Structure 1
Amino acid sequence: MEPFRVHILGCGSALPTLKHNASSQVVEIREKLFMIDCGEGTQMQLRKSKIRFTKISCVFISHLHGDHCFGLIGMISTFGMLGRTATLRVYGPKELGPVLDSQIKTFCQGLEFSVEFHAVDTTKKTVIYEDRSLTVESIPLKHRMPTCGYLFREKPTLPHIKRDMIDFYHVPISQINNIKLGASWTTPDGDVIDNSRFVEPADAPRSYAYCSDTRYIPDLYKLIEGVDTLYHESTYASDNADRARKYHHSTARDAASVARDAHVGKLFLGHYSARYNDESVILKEAQEIFPNSYLTNEGMVFDV
């Protein structure tokens, strides 16, 4: 099975601390790298993770709070100094477009690569990126400004070939793709060998949803039903539920409720408030509702 994993570069919230970096992740899927959010300090985290960040092809920004985008222009500048030539695609709320354009004109003149900005409608769930192996959809969220999450879905793959059966029936290599596509095989004696003898089921497509920042949305689960892995902000535990409502954030209980209702496989928590020196209270609260919950931390890598 091809790798589909997530690298946590930062899982803190707006106030900088010595414990956590601002929000950023890299999604690695089939040798392609996609960044979600790019808070201040992301470049240093990329260095520590030893990710070949010049291979990042797209950056998906959830919203225009600094802890999610202050690192973007610095990373673009570094790409220029490293001699990047490949186009960098940036996706985010339409308000990001003119800001990014102004920053590039001010700080990054003479880039030898293009930065393509793609405005995302944060009010709709729609496919915003697609290639041969995956799609990325926007997830409408509710924060203090236009905000969306992102849902990465693998496309279905073809079945696996049973090599021993191919050899047994002397099927030519030229016919293997046809068999993958469902064809049966007729032997030189005229016997028809059913396709099922030659293939095993394909791996189930995997999916990853990123939801940060947002207040609790009771029907959010409908948009992420059945995803393998969910990252949902858990800025506070229930002891600060009033602050969560005031600032349009979620508690660990909120995040776990979404995971439970969406029947996801795993829940990863993050975007912790700086007021928590120990996030175990956040984890405990989430696990009471959704046992398969985990804390994220910088340097963590998990398989979807």
Structure 2
Amino acid sequence: MNLTILGCYAATPRTFTNPTSQVLEIRNRLFLIDCGEGTQVQLRKNKLKFSKINHIFISHLHGDHFYGLIGLISTFMLLGRTADLHIYGPKGIKEVILLQLKLSNSYTAYNLYFHELISSESEIIFEDEKVIVKTIPLKHRVYTNGFLFQEKIGDRKLDMNAVQNHKIETCYYQKIKNGKDIELEDGTLIPNEKLTFDPIPPKSYAFCSDTVYDESIIPIIENTDILYHESTFLETEAHLSEKTMHTTAKQAATIALKANVKQLIMGHYSTRYASIELFKEEAETIFPNVLLSDDGKTFEF
């Protein structure tokens, strides 16, 4: 599971910082999460293949989280894209994107599907044979969701020594990997656990964008491997976090601690601070396993 940060700063883009956007690679799928200004430029800089992005998740309709979307959609068209593109986001995202395409006479030659979200409860919004994605309802100034990405449990791993010792034919391998016991020609039943190893434990990643401190999300993200949680302010500006409905570094760390996550990644920093290291220092007073996101940074898990 790899995470590439395309942008992780709050509000407006600068010459050396970008608003929120990131790419999660999980089970050979590329998911784009939020799409602030400059996302497609950052995709090129980080040498990520546009064509592999088939699902885009937008947390909310504040500009620093989706103003890059229409440009990316248009670029897909110019590149001759034919694959379907699915966009998940708040109700209204279809209207704003289609209006821009209509007024610029720039309809796509590929199928564009909008999955508009309105629920205030966590729900499954994407699922295939390898990955499941759920919403994480957040509390911000407009309707907002985070997203929880979870691998499904994979096949069991063959113990080739055991399989060969029992002279089991290859046509039964997939059945064994699926967890089935095997009966030999002489009627002997070989339990699956004697032929396989446990599958690799599935990983999970929770993305929590703009939100006020909210413990109601803890049951949804509990025991997650990696939590990305916004940390716009330090505690010295806690009054601003309440006013703007954002979170401090200390509060993000408190959520990570109470949710028993393995790793916290912070981002969405206000640009008022001289160094983002200040966020890590504050968070580590509460939670030990803290990483700082930064534009162009890749995490491998």
SS in 2 for 1:289: coil
Match of 2:291 in 1: 294
Task: Say how many residue pairs are matched.
Answer: 301
Match of 2:85 in 1: 88
Q: What are the residue-to-residue correspondences of 1:122-137 with 2, within 5 Å?
A: 122-137=119-134
Pick which of 138-147 and 106-115 moved more: 106-115
Give the one of 169, 179, 182 matched to 2:179.
182
Q: 1:38: how far off?
A: 0.3
Q: Is the 8 A contact 2:180 2:192 kept in 1?
A: yes
> How big is each residue's C-alpha offset from its partner over 1:241-272, in whole Å with a ceiling of 9 and x where there is no partner?
01111000000011000000000010000000
RMSD in angstroms over aligned alpha carbons? 1.3
Pair 1:166 & 2:163 matched: yes
SS in 2 for 1:219: helix
Structure 1 residues 163 and 108, CA gap change in structure 2 (3 angstroms): farther
What amino acid is aligned across from residue 139 of structure 1 in structure 2? I
Structure-2 separation of matches of 1:159 and 1:283 = 39
Match of 1:246 in 2: 243
Pick which of 46-55 and 188-197 moved more: 188-197
Q: 1:109: how far off?
A: 2.0
Structure-1 separation of matches of 2:48 and 2:222 = 31
Q: Is the 8 A contact 1:77 1:107 kept in 2?
A: no
Structure-2 separation of matches of 1:192 and 1:116 = 49
Q: 1:108: how far off?
A: 5.4
Pair 1:100 & 2:87 matched: no
Over 6 Å off, 4+ runs? none
What amino acid is aligned across from residue 60 of structure 2 in structure 1? H
Q: 1:14: how far off?
A: 0.4
Match of 2:256 in 1: 259
Residue segments in structure 2 that go unaligned for 5+ positions in a row: none
Give the one of 61, 65, 72 matched to 2:62.
65
Match of 2:201 in 1: 204
What amino acid is aligned across from residue 241 of structure 1 in structure 2? A
Q: 1:120: how far off?
A: 1.1
Identity of aligned residues (%): 43
> How big is each residue's C-alpha offset from its partner over 1:251-295, in whole Å with a ceiling of 9 and x where there is no partner?
001100000000001000000001012011111111110110111
Pick which of 85-94 and 188-197 moved more: 188-197
Q: Is the 8 A contact 2:74 2:106 kept in 1?
A: no
Q: 1:73: how far off?
A: 0.2
Structure-1 separation of matches of 2:100 and 2:157 = 48
Structure-2 separation of matches of 1:212 and 1:169 = 53
Structure-2 separation of matches of 1:159 and 1:297 = 37
Match of 1:153 in 2: 150
Pair 1:282 & 2:279 matched: yes
> How big is each residue's C-alpha offset from its partner over 1:171-191, in whole Å with a ceiling of 9 and x where there is no partner?
011111222233333333443
Structure-2 separation of matches of 1:159 and 1:221 = 30
Give the one of 210, 217, 222 matched to 1:220.
217
Q: Is the 8 A contact 1:122 1:148 kept in 2?
A: no
> How big is each residue's C-alpha offset from its partner over 1:99-119, in whole Å with a ceiling of 9 and x where there is no partner?
111112123524210211111
Residue segments in structure 1 that go unaligned for 5+ positions in a row: none
Give the one of 44, 50, 57 matched to 2:47.
50
Q: Is the 8 A contact 2:24 2:33 kept in 1?
A: yes
TM-score, normalised with respect to structure 1: 0.96
Q: Is the 8 A contact 2:254 2:286 kept in 1?
A: yes
Q: Is the 8 A contact 1:260 1:290 kept in 2?
A: yes
